Structure formats: C-alpha cells, structure tokens
Structure 1
Amino acid sequence: MATGRVMALDVGKVRVGIALSDPLGYTAQPLLTLWRKSRGEDLRSIMRLIRKHEVVELVVGNPLHMSGDLSPWAHKVQQFAEELRERSQLPVHLWDERLSSVVAHEILDEAGHDKRDRKQIIDQVAAVVILRGWMEAQELPRLL
C-alpha cells in the first residue's frame, strides 16, 4: 500500500458510503454518505473528495452473490470503478463486499445506535468494513 490515504466506496443505487484511511494506512474512518444524483455528478463529487483528502488509492466494494458469481449490480459497480480509475489515474481495487452491510449493522447494534436512524450512516460503516478488510489483506504478506 502506498503512503497516503486510501478511500473506500460502498456504491449503492441510492447512496455511496465513503470511508478513508489515515495517511499511514493503519485505521479506517467513515467520511460521509453521498446521495446519488447522476453518474457524472457522483464521479465529480468523488473526484473532489479524492483531491481534498489527497487520496492515493481507491477500494470499491464489489457486490458479488453469496455464491461468488457476479450480480447484475456488480457489473454496474465495476463500470463505475473503471470510470473512476480513468478519471483519477489512481489504482482502483475491487474488494468483495459480501456481508459488509451485515457486519456494519452488527457494529451499529453493538454501539447502541438506533435502528430507525441508520440510513444516514450505514453505508459509511459498510465502507469502513470494506476498507478494513482490504487493509488487513495488504498486511498479510508483510507479516509472513
């Protein structure tokens, strides 16, 4: 992993959850939830965040079926990731996001967060789960 911030995206049909690593790549924190408007506007908003936070790599949650097969939404997310790669000229990694929303709900349950008020943050927490998973996988080769 390069030194600098890594941004993770949990791309949904209505919202995009966004999380960031610290500059050294040790922690992942929620940043914001982007309410989707249009593909072009969404990409422009993400590009602004990339520049503002000096992002050097991107991780995009890849919504696979539980079987591991590509879902119809996975094709759209992969196209979105490719557009982001072209616009940003940064490395963009697809990361298996199966169960990230389940884990995000568990985290919020443990924190005592009201179930009725999660729409604003659930996607950010899912992006943190995606980013943590990717960051941990990058650490494994260094530890062996």
Structure 2
Amino acid sequence: MSRPQRLLGFDYGTRQIGVAVGQTLTGSAQPLCVLRARDGVPDWQQIAALVGEWKPDALVVGLPLNMDGTPSAMSARAEKFARRLEGRYQLKVHCVDERLSTFEAKQSLRDSRRTPSSYRDDPVDALAAALLLQTWLGEQPMEQP
C-alpha cells in the first residue's frame, strides 16, 4: 500500500488563482487562499512559499473545458500554467476537468447564506480549487488494505 499523499489544487485564472490543499488518506480538500495574478502570471514566490510550507507530493490544476468537453480559450493557458508548475517544482501535475466548479462554489456560498462581501473570508476561487481537487481525489482508485 502506498503512503498517503498531500496535494495542492489550483483554480487558474488571469486575475486570481484559487488554491486548496487536500490529501488522499481521507480524499478530502479544503480551500486555502487566493493568489493575485497579472494577466495570468502568478507571483511565483507566493507559490514557492506554499509548496515549501505544505510540501505536496503532487499538484492538481483545473482545466476549464467548454460544456461539450472541448478545450476553451482558457484551457491552453491553464495547461501552460500546469507545465510551469511541473518544471519549477519538479512535482507531478495532474489536470482535471473543472467545468462548473466556480459556479458550484458560488452556489455553495449562496446556499450557506454568505453575502458577496463575506467572500473575502471564504473566497470563491479557493473554494472552486477545493471542489476541483475533491473531484480529482474522487476519481482516484480506492486503495486496498
């Protein structure tokens, strides 16, 4: 049986990048933070600090596909971000279909009666990152004891 893994998940965007942390032992993920980006370019020092602090075994990046499953205009940018993560940190990077993760995150916040002003306390992009990381974890085969 392989050891449990810790992962960081990224909901890539041109202005903000949501980040979540999760692990394979429980198959759960939780929102971590939102990083600012400039035209899709993150502050790589902030990402390096997160990688240094959380010491993930792998990374997961959401792939924004169209509803019919075809690549969207943002898909190429998200894939480039994933390649850069892999190159910079020498970690395995998995891409996961993130269709509706941001919509689901906003709906979840609405359902919990949080107002837009309270999103700073539970940012929608970080929640979307947790949802896409949760999706990836749910797609992994269960380990047998």
Q: Same fold (TM over 0.5)?
A: yes
Report the CA distance between 1:111 and its aligned residue: 1.4
The residue that corresponds to 1:85 in the other structure is 86
Deviation string, structure 1 residues 78-98 (Cα, Å, up to 9, x no partner): 011001111111110010000
Report the CA distance between 1:117 and its aligned residue: 3.8
SS at match of 2:60: strand
Count residues with an aligned counterpart: 142
TM-score, normalising length from structure 2? 0.86
TM-score, normalising length from structure 1? 0.87
Report the CA distance between 1:119 and its aligned residue: 5.9
SS at match of 1:55: coil
Aligned partner (choices 113, 136, 139) of residue 137 of structure 1: 139
SS at match of 1:94: strand
The alignment-based identity, stated in percent, is: 31
Question: Higher helix share goes to which structure?
Answer: 1
The residue that corresponds to 2:70 in the other structure is 69
Q: Is the 8 A contact 1:61 1:97 kept in 2?
A: yes
Query: Per the alignment, do residues 103 and 11 of structure 1 end up closer, same or farther by CA in structure 2, a change over 3 Å counting?
Result: same
The residue that corresponds to 1:20 in the other structure is 21
Report the CA distance between 1:37 and its aligned residue: 3.8
Q: Is the 8 A contact 2:19 2:126 kept in 1?
A: yes
Deviation string, structure 1 residues 57-105 (Cα, Å, up to 9, x no partner): 1000001111111112110110110011111111100100000011111
Q: How many angstroms apart in 2 are the aligned matches of 1:25 and 1:55?
A: 15
The residue that corresponds to 1:35 in the other structure is 36
The residue that corresponds to 2:113 in the other structure is 112
Query: Per the alignment, do residues 2 and 76 of structure 1 end up closer, same or farther by CA in structure 2, a change over 3 Å counting?
Result: farther
Unaligned runs of 5+ in 2: none
Report the CA distance between 1:34 and its aligned residue: 0.5
Unaligned runs of 5+ in 1: none
Deviation string, structure 1 residues 100-127 (Cα, Å, up to 9, x no partner): 0111112112211113443660000100
The alignment yields a C-alpha RMSD, in angstroms, of 2.2
Query: Per the alignment, do residues 39 and 5 of structure 1 end up closer, same or farther by CA in structure 2, a change over 3 Å counting?
Result: same
The residue that corresponds to 1:97 in the other structure is 98
Q: Is the 8 A contact 1:6 1:25 kept in 2?
A: no
Aligned partner (choices 121, 124, 132) of residue 126 of structure 2: 124
SS at match of 1:95: strand
Report the CA distance between 1:8 and its aligned residue: 0.3
